[in-house]
Structure 1
């Protein structure tokens, strides 16, 4: 269910599209459910800003059901009835409970089917149950439930119950839809609550059961930004713990920001204050040094990323050395054993095996061969104000410091370009290119100028 506004967040963004662990809340839930059933059997009820929610998760392959007017969780299921009535059993998940694990969903499903219950409620016993509806069992130790009572309606005795309703259910569709129309909106919000189905089904003589989650954290939602950031902290620490269990060293994991989707291979070291975001994959025996940010990037084995690098949408080859303070922009491919040094920026560049650009350089829209050296301060002038153009540099080329390469241009294998040149024409293989004005030296000019200045100064005084 993903139709609500989440008004308590005080945000224009739909609640289910707020992110923790680098992904929207709803994507976490869909991913967990997709391990249990194929996406073709997952239905997302959308309402508030429905188009925006659909666009955000359309690539998952799920179906969408429109709850054009939002009159509560019970009304959401009424809206979905025609789409899901062909199933013997359905699972109802909340789109804003992102820590729920697929094995927990499977436990609810299997328990529900084995017991042939009409309704099964996933419960939990958190440290603080205030604010949650309580699940009232018929007797201690029994799986049978008599009712779900919302916080405001609790008696003093019921308030002592620590077992909460998670809002996650399994239903047998026949009794659910037989009694769904009996829901009443006699409450402060005038809505139809799915929680009321427990009492209705019990009254009808159907079995309503409860199964408790092993880890209460899994069922926690968030109604404020602060609460959401607590969930973000939890999922990131969980990701760090998982990676460390797989052989990754993370120094001070509480300082790192690692998205749940990130993959890191064994024997890699992640230093404090590193961010690994999106669909990033890091190979074995790498070291990612402090303050580097790596997003949607594939890094091969034995790569060193020195301090303060920003890498996005790139591919980094085995043994490469980056930084410090390199900026590797999208569609850059840094080859095996290549070096991209301090304050070097690349964009849509292929840098060949063993090639080096070590200092203060901009390389954009360029293809650079193997074993080429790019000197300090080199610039590929790729943009003419309207279009981007490509610079092609061959193998074993030496490009001297402070050279500008005005694209489109090609430099052949083994060519040399003298420092300070502005290259506007292709350079043939094995050639030397010089494109700078001849130096003029005037002996004694500076001495004379200084003497004249001093004389003027003394006369003024």
Structure 2
């Protein structure tokens, strides 16, 4: 559960969200665009789009760089109805926003300008940013008190009035002493947005069109401006791998707090890593050093033991997983079922009360209720070209160190003898054996040792 699940917007006003996502992120040292790097198994851009949608954005426009079909695909995955605009020349933030002119020309009450590399912004913060617009403000800027303001734009204020935002490179020494800094995000009243943006000029050190200049422009035209102050943590942008790791740390702390507040026990919270979409039911216990990949649901009362890795899996109430278990996409563990140490399961359903206690691989299979799978069992599900299924009936018993060569069916209540290679289906309540007959040679070991010792002496 995350804040995007629990926050409910209350404003009836229409809102266009413009997300700037054209940056290449050269400091990331990556072939992947910066906004597609992930935090809690969701791209940074995905986090921003989800928060905006939850906060009540009624339409969305995303500005991307040239030849970035990968970014466009990510947008369409989360917001298939979004506008996508390409910024061919990077001439500043106001220029980037105006790339979405077609969207800005549509009638809308509010416009939010957000950034694709700020994944920690909460939906309620976007709502806070919009609120002064409903009270008559033309521009609202998000600010924060910076521990170290170096590099940030400064808020120039008079009392509680925002007069201007001065970029660090253009600020005087006195202005650089200000600690109330620009968090980047802005909200603009829809009926004046294009008027303000079209008046921005590039008379500054960098020769760029700064979005922040609309504050002074708005005041010059007689409009009121406002500030929405948030924590520095929330406006944390990501420009390199160290900042990406810091964002991961922050969001993991949030996710851990949320699941514990909902009735989940994390024995050692700092060692558990959650995905943005992890769902843990009441009275679930998660032991140390567990990693949840995307798409995991754990129902009430289940226990996830230490050093387990889960992805795309569903664990029913009262089940136990691990320690040292790996559940891959399509794994479904039934009520009170047990998945033990060094067990890997993929695209397999375990019935209620089934036991797979140790050293086993089950892929593309179904296991009936109360069945028991012995140590060292594997389903041989792949022949290099296709995948095949194994069906194991209710109450079946698979002896240790058995190989089940799919496609094959083990009937209800059937037994498979230990060490068997099963290539043909076994009927219900039958015994299947697929191994060579044991031969015993009396005294063989004595003769062998004598021969070996004689050879060693020579």
CA distance in 1, matches of 2:272, 2:155: 38
CA distance in 2, matches of 1:194, 1:132: 14
CA distance in 2, matches of 1:408, 1:223: 50
CA distance in 1, matches of 2:45, 2:247: 14
Confirm or deny that 1:54 pairs with 2:67. no
CA distance in 1, matches of 2:55, 2:48: 11
Structure 2 counterpart of 1:254, from 248, 270, 274: 270
Distance change (3 Å), C-alpha of 1:177 and 1:313: closer
* TM-score, normalising length: structure 1: 0.87
Deviation string for 1:397-442 (max 9, x for gaps)? Answer: 2222222222222222222222222222222222222332222222
Structure 2 residue matching 1:258: 3-state secondary structure: coil
Equivalences for residues 211-222 of structure 1 within 5 A: 211-222=227-238
Structure 1, unpaired ranges of 5+: 279-295
Structure 2 counterpart of 1:25, from 27, 41, 44: 44
CA distance in 2, matches of 1:243, 1:378: 35
CA distance in 1, matches of 2:437, 2:278: 54
For the 8 Å contact 2:328–2:344, the answer to whether it is kept is yes
Equivalences for residues 56-455 of structure 1 within 5 A: 56-61=74-79, 62-85=82-105, 86-114=107-135, 116-137=136-157, 139=158, 141-143=159-161, 145-203=162-220, 205-278=221-294, 296-455=295-454
Q: CA RMSD for the aligned pairs?
A: 2.3
CA distance in 1, matches of 2:424, 2:89: 65
Deviation string for 1:209-229 (max 9, x for gaps)? Answer: 231324232223233322232
Higher relative contact order (CA 8 A, sep 6+): 2
| TM-superposed deviation, 1:151 | 0.6
Question: What is the aligned residue count?
Answer: 436
CA distance in 1, matches of 2:401, 2:383: 19
Structure 2, unpaired ranges of 5+: 1-19
| TM-superposed deviation, 1:88 | 4.1
For the 8 Å contact 1:247–1:267, the answer to whether it is kept is yes
CA distance in 2, matches of 1:297, 1:88: 38
Confirm or deny that 1:42 pairs with 2:60. yes
Distance change (3 Å), C-alpha of 1:159 and 1:103: same
| TM-superposed deviation, 1:457 | 4.1
CA distance in 1, matches of 2:148, 2:245: 18
Distance change (3 Å), C-alpha of 1:120 and 1:248: same
* Larger Rg computed on CA atoms: 1
The more displaced of 308-317 and 182-191 is: 182-191
Distance change (3 Å), C-alpha of 1:208 and 1:159: farther
CA distance in 1, matches of 2:368, 2:87: 57
CA distance in 1, matches of 2:311, 2:361: 16
Structure 1 residue matching 2:292: 3-state secondary structure: strand
| TM-superposed deviation, 1:174 | 4.1
Deviation string for 1:159-195 (max 9, x for gaps)? Answer: 2222112222122344442343333233343321111
For the 8 Å contact 2:399–2:419, the answer to whether it is kept is yes
CA distance in 1, matches of 2:177, 2:147: 13
CA distance in 2, matches of 1:25, 1:339: 36
CA distance in 1, matches of 2:160, 2:24: 36
| TM-superposed deviation, 1:48 | 4.8
For the 8 Å contact 2:413–2:428, the answer to whether it is kept is yes
For 1:281, the equivalent position in structure 2 comes to none
Deviation string for 1:257-299 (max 9, x for gaps)? Answer: 2234333333333333332332xxxxxxxxxxxxxxxxx2222
For the 8 Å contact 2:22–2:65, the answer to whether it is kept is yes
Distance change (3 Å), C-alpha of 1:70 and 1:231: same
* TM-score, normalising length: structure 2: 0.88
The more displaced of 212-221 and 174-183 is: 174-183
Distance change (3 Å), C-alpha of 1:336 and 1:442: same
CA distance in 2, matches of 1:166, 1:456: 82
